């Protein structure tokens, strides 16, 4: 099955990208300012054996994306745009590609999806709530490798002594996401 790339714009945030395989989301890049001449943001996993796209395909109006219609994709884009405008939205209906995850990783993903908008948990609380006490470092590793930011809201996971980290986008981006949700640390 082919992978489809869909770009979206979030005012004040930049351009984000979603990749779908049929109806399942396989990758999400959070919006960031990009120079107009660049193509898709390079991502880990790209390559000959990757399930991630090697080139972009944006469906034409009225086209089908795998088994889903383009309006379903547009609904997710619209929900993301609403999120970045500060609206409280939920992503529980977004189908994710979780193939290849261990039972531990699936438990962390389920628990992350349940962390409400505007609330935070520590890495230790995330691990305990997932049924894996004392696995806070492994929970942090999962968050660092999260392919589905916002849908699996790792920005809502903080260190016991502060904000924690947020990968290549940095702590200011994480702080900005939390502030958007009304959280100040």
Residues designated as active site: 154
Structure tokens at 35: 């120079």
Phi-psi region at 91: left, alpha or beta (left = phi > 0; alpha = psi -120 to 50) = alpha
Neighbours of 92 (CB within 10 A): 7
Neighbours of 178 (CB within 10 A): 21
CA atoms within 13 A on the CB side of 53: 24
Long-range contacts of 127-130 (CB under 8 A, 24+ apart): 130/104
Please check whether residue 51 is in contact with residue 26, taking contact to mean a CB–CB distance below 8 angstroms: yes
């Amino acid at each position: 099955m082919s992978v489809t790339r869909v770009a979206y714009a979030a005012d004040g945030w930049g351009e984000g990208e979603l990749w779908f395989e049929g109806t399942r989301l396989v990758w999400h890049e959070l919006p960031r300012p990009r120079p107009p001449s660049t193509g898709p943001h390079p991502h880990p996993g790209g390559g000959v054996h990757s399930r991630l796209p090697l080139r972009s395909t944006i469906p034409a109006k009225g086209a089908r994306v795998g088994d889903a219609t383009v309006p379903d994709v547009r609904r997710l884009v619209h929900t993301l745009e609403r999120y970045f405008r500060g609206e409280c939205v939920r992503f529980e209906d977004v189908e994710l590609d979780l193939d290849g995850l261990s039972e531990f990783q699936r438990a962390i993903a389920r628990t992350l999806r349940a962390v409400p908008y505007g609330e935070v948990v520590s890495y230790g609380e995330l691990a305990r709530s997932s049924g894996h006490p004392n696995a806070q470092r492994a929970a942090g590793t999962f968050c660092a490798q999260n392919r589905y930011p916002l849908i699996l809201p790792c920005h809502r996971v903080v260190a016991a002594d502060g904000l924690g980290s947020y990968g290549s986008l940095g702590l200011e981006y994480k702080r900005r996401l939390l502030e958007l949700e009304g959280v100040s640390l």
